[in-house]
Structure 1
Amino acid sequence: MAPRRMRAVVAARAEAGEGVAAFVLKDPDGWELPPFRPGAHLDLYLPGGLVRTYSLVNDPAENDRYVIAVKREAQGRGGSAFLCDRLAAGDEIGIGLPRGGLPLGPQPQVFIAGGIGVTPFLSAASALVRQGRRDVMLHVIARGAPPLAERIAPLVAAGLAQVHDTRAGLRPLLGDLLAPFAGTGAAACCGPAALIDAFEAATRDWPADRVHVERFVPPPLEAPREAQDYRLVLARTGGEIAVPAGASMLEALAAHGIDIPHSCCGGICGLCKVGWIEGVPLHRDRALSPQERETSLLACVALSAGPRLVVDL
């Protein structure tokens, strides 16, 4: 089933840091928008068939708007350049329903953000503060002024955020930032690969359900030894597709005229989620929860450990 798409209008556009633009999206007719969870993602449908995914930065209590922040990546695939260079107030754009969100439990929460990686944590921190929570700390690591500084400032003033300027000094040791939360807290990180590597090393001994990572760029993936050639069976149409071991299911479907919405092609955004019915999928994604993997897979990275895999297509 294709994801639901809606039209949104750019109600406002503003510069939100060096090379960063913030966009306020609203319903063209002024209706309330579908609700979203703290740290949820929003898919934007761009010209030329591009789909790009961004974190919502505003409080989920704001039901009349979605706010995203986009950093222009000169070496990117064109999505951020289009948004930053050409999308203006008054323009319309296609969007999907908000997806996912951060797993915020009752534990004290610490967020580690590198630069534009602050986006999902602003939404989460706003929601927690609105609930009266004070056991929250957002650490923002940036070179110079951070993106979305105006949204971070109230949290800093409340003692719930710290900005670490690496132009003025060395990057803080993540172990020191995480130490107050190590016993009973939950931690999340979003940012460049080097920051995520350091975060994963610092939380290696934490319970897995109290550690969350969001990535800008998919990590390198290798096909595991148990991956097999398989027949991909389409349950709704009865079609079958031969897929070699290690090959992309997404590309195999596209070659047979079945277009699955996708963006990252590396298992981190979750847009290409497909239900599976029979077989033994090999899930290599970084987006689905263990519960979601029991019934769904991401077509961009999933493989098969058996000779037959039946999907809900």
Structure 2
Amino acid sequence: MQDAVAAQVQTTLRVAAKNVVAEGVVSLVLKAADGARLPDWTPGSHIDLVLPGGLTRQYSLCGDRWDAYEYRVGVLREPDGRGGSAYVHDRLKAGDTVGVSRPRNNFPLVPSKDYLFIAGGIGITPLIPMIHQAELTGADWNLVYGGRTRGSMAFLDELTPYGGRVHIVPEDEQGRPDLHAWLGEVRDGLRVYCCGPAGLLDAVENACAPWPAPTLWTERFSAPDQGAPVRDEPFDIVLARRGATVTVTPDMTVIDAMRTVGVDLLSSCMEGVCGTCETTVLDGVVDHRDALLTAEDRAAGDCMFPCVSRSCTDRLVLDL
């Protein structure tokens, strides 16, 4: 996993275009005002948009990764959100500027000859570049794309050229996809990539339960319930670079505690799903409560997401 300091590097980009691409979904094309080349990215990457008022939200890159001069994201209006999507939909316009982080990838496309992509709603966005990559490498692949209605499903026109590999499943027309039918018999080499709402992800995880562990890769918009923390008493965070120690009480996050001593670590989601606040752990045992780390990452114990994760031990020493 990468260091949080690198993830916080950002620049200011101009909104070159804003378009409605489905009911409740707009796309933004972002470019440097001076026409400069933008940092490269890989399929599955996302960026943070830093909006006025301190709002920071992450969105998957869904454009052409070989175009070095623009980024594209798709933004779903979230009626019950915290204001970021509403700002993008209602106030942000072509010509405005926004802060943008460097791309980072918590959902990497691993090499394979056989992919099944499963998207729900706006979850199509990280899968579009993956499909492009699968085509370039000559892999066998299929996309199952579900949504409430056909009109609510973004970027359908871009998927049409792929013909029979793309399977559009609007719920009001066809119900929900038969995941077991799409998966078929357990076989070596299949890689399943799924992004969408929690209900879809839970269903796909259940359907893939008989398959070997490397089969399924998911990206969540919100973290699943992690249950109660390992400990309910205070613990200390030692900030190794600053030579400071701060106590984290049961009613605060690690990020909140660090802010009391002037360490304002950027975090976009505050739910353990975006990866913005990833921090290196030098000592102690982490109570991991994110939706990002693999079992291997957790066993290594050398990083954490302090927006949600806590400590199993009396103290954690962080590389901050």
- Scaled by the length of structure 1, what TM-score is found? 0.93
- Quick one: which of 97, 102, 124 aligns to 1:97? 102
Cα deviation for residue 5 of structure 1 reads 0.8
**Residue 82 (structure 1) aligns with:** 87
- Quick one: which of 306, 310, 320 aligns to 1:303? 310
2:72 aligned with 1:67: yes
Cα deviation for residue 28 of structure 1 reads 1.2
Cα deviation for residue 220 of structure 1 reads 2.5
Cα deviation for residue 254 of structure 1 reads 2.0
Gaps of 5+ in 1: none
Q: Residues 46 and 58 of structure 2 are in contact (CA less than 8 Å); yes or no, is this contact kept in structure 1? A: yes
2:258 aligned with 1:262: no
Distance across 2 between alignment mates of 1:84 and 1:279:
43
Q: CA RMSD in A?
A: 1.9
- Quick one: which of 183, 201, 206 aligns to 1:201? 206
Distance across 1 between alignment mates of 2:87 and 2:44:
23
Cα deviation for residue 257 of structure 1 reads 2.6
Cα deviation for residue 281 of structure 1 reads 1.2
2:37 aligned with 1:48: no
Deviations 1:213-236 (A, max 9, x none): 111222223234356632110001
Q: Residues 112 and 189 of structure 2 are in contact (CA less than 8 Å); yes or no, is this contact kept in structure 1? A: no
Q: 1:74 corresponds to which letter in structure 2? A: P
- Quick one: which of 125, 135, 148 aligns to 2:131? 125
- Quick one: which of 149, 158, 183 aligns to 2:156? 149
Distance across 1 between alignment mates of 2:294 and 2:113:
19
Q: Secondary structure at the match of 2:36?
A: coil
2:223 aligned with 1:225: no
Distance across 1 between alignment mates of 2:287 and 2:197:
26
Cα deviation for residue 180 of structure 1 reads 6.2
Q: Secondary structure at the match of 1:125?
A: helix
Gaps of 5+ in 2: none
2:236 aligned with 1:242: no
Q: Closer, same or farther in 2 for the Cα pair 1:234/1:56, shift >3 Å?
A: same
**Residue 188 (structure 1) aligns with:** 193
Q: 1:63 corresponds to which letter in structure 2? A: A
Distance across 2 between alignment mates of 1:118 and 1:137:
13
- Quick one: which of 160, 169, 172 aligns to 2:165? 160
Q: Closer, same or farther in 2 for the Cα pair 1:182/1:73, shift >3 Å?
A: farther
**Residue 110 (structure 1) aligns with:** 116
Cα deviation for residue 204 of structure 1 reads 0.9
Map 1:272-283 to 2 at 5 A: 272-283=277-288
Q: Residues 268 and 274 of structure 2 are in contact (CA less than 8 Å); yes or no, is this contact kept in structure 1? A: yes
The alignment-based identity, stated in percent, is: 37
**Residue 286 (structure 1) aligns with:** 291
Q: Secondary structure at the match of 1:241?
A: strand
Distance across 1 between alignment mates of 2:63 and 2:102:
15
Deviations 1:131-174 (A, max 9, x none): 333x111110012222111222222x2x3211012111221211
Distance across 2 between alignment mates of 1:246 and 1:9:
39
Distance across 1 between alignment mates of 2:159 and 2:72:
15
Cα deviation for residue 4 of structure 1 reads 0.6
Map 1:12-31 to 2 at 5 A: 12-31=17-36
Deviations 1:9-62 (A, max 9, x none): 111111100010001111111111101110101110011111100001123222
Q: 1:68 corresponds to which letter in structure 2? A: V
Distance across 2 between alignment mates of 1:41 and 1:262:
14
- Scaled by the length of structure 2, what TM-score is found? 0.91
Q: Closer, same or farther in 2 for the Cα pair 1:94/1:180, shift >3 Å?
A: farther
Q: Closer, same or farther in 2 for the Cα pair 1:175/1:182, shift >3 Å?
A: farther
| Farther-moved stretch of structure 1 (110-119 vs 163-172) | 163-172
Q: 1:209 corresponds to which letter in structure 2? A: P
Q: Secondary structure at the match of 1:168?
A: helix
Q: Secondary structure at the match of 1:57?
A: coil
